[in-house]
């Protein structure tokens, strides 16, 4: 009987430690504040340096371009949205615009994330060309804006290296 009680307490203890660690890791440290522009996370790899975050309102966004070096027909971003109070049942492609400092601006063409829930991830894609010309030709800055997801507008920017 003492062994069963001991094992029960041990399992309960591990469960509490695991839940406490998950909550501690979900704090907003390192995330851009609601009044600041999104910033790159401070991590070691080149891919991590491309991640931009924004936590305006009750939705935390993380955005990373996936194929800027070789976009093909589309420029694609991995987008993660997390919240505990907002239903994320929207098609991000209808709310997103990609623009460059050379004057190009294109609307999203696809969003493959789930349409609903509180923790949604997916790929958001934009056409890589307009009028037969790559929107990245001659560009030095790329800006993704997403409107009306528990904030009037979220802006994510990347400097393009030539």
In order along its 162 residues, the chain shows pLDDT tens digits of 555 454 444 444 443 333 333 333 333 333 232 233 443 333 344 567 999 999 999 999 999 999 999 999 999 999 999 999 998 999 999 999 999 999 999 999 999 999 888 999 999 999 999 999 999 999 999 999 999 999 999 999 999 986
**Which CATH number does the domain housing residue 161 bear?**
2.60.40.1630
Query: Cβ(118)–Cβ(144) under 8 Å?
Result: no
Residue 14 resides in a domain:
no
How many separate domains does the chain show?
1
Residue 158 resides in a domain:
yes
Domain region containing 105: 51-162
Residue 74 resides in a domain:
yes
Q: What is the pTM of this model?
A: 0.71
């Amino acid at each position: 009987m003492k062994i069963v009680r001991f094992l029960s307490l041990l399992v309960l203890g591990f469960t509490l430690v695991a839940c406490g660690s998950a909550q501690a890791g979900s704090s907003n440290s390192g995330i851009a504040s609601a009044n600041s522009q999104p910033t790159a996370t401070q991590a070691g790899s080149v891919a991590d340096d491309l991640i931009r975050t924004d936590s305006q309102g009750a939705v935390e966004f993380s955005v990373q371009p996936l194929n800027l070096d070789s976009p093909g027909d589309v420029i694609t971003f991995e987008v993660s949205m997390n919240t505990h109070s907002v239903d994320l049942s929207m098609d991000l492609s209808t709310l997103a615009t990609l623009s460059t400092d050379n004057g190009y601006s294109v609307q999203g063409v696809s969003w493959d994330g789930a349409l609903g829930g509180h923790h949604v991830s997916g790929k958001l894609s934009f056409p890589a060309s307009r009028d037969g010309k790559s929107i990245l030709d001659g560009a030095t800055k790329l800006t993704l804006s997403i409107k009306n997801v528990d904030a009037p507008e979220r802006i994510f920017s990347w400097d393009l290296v030539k």
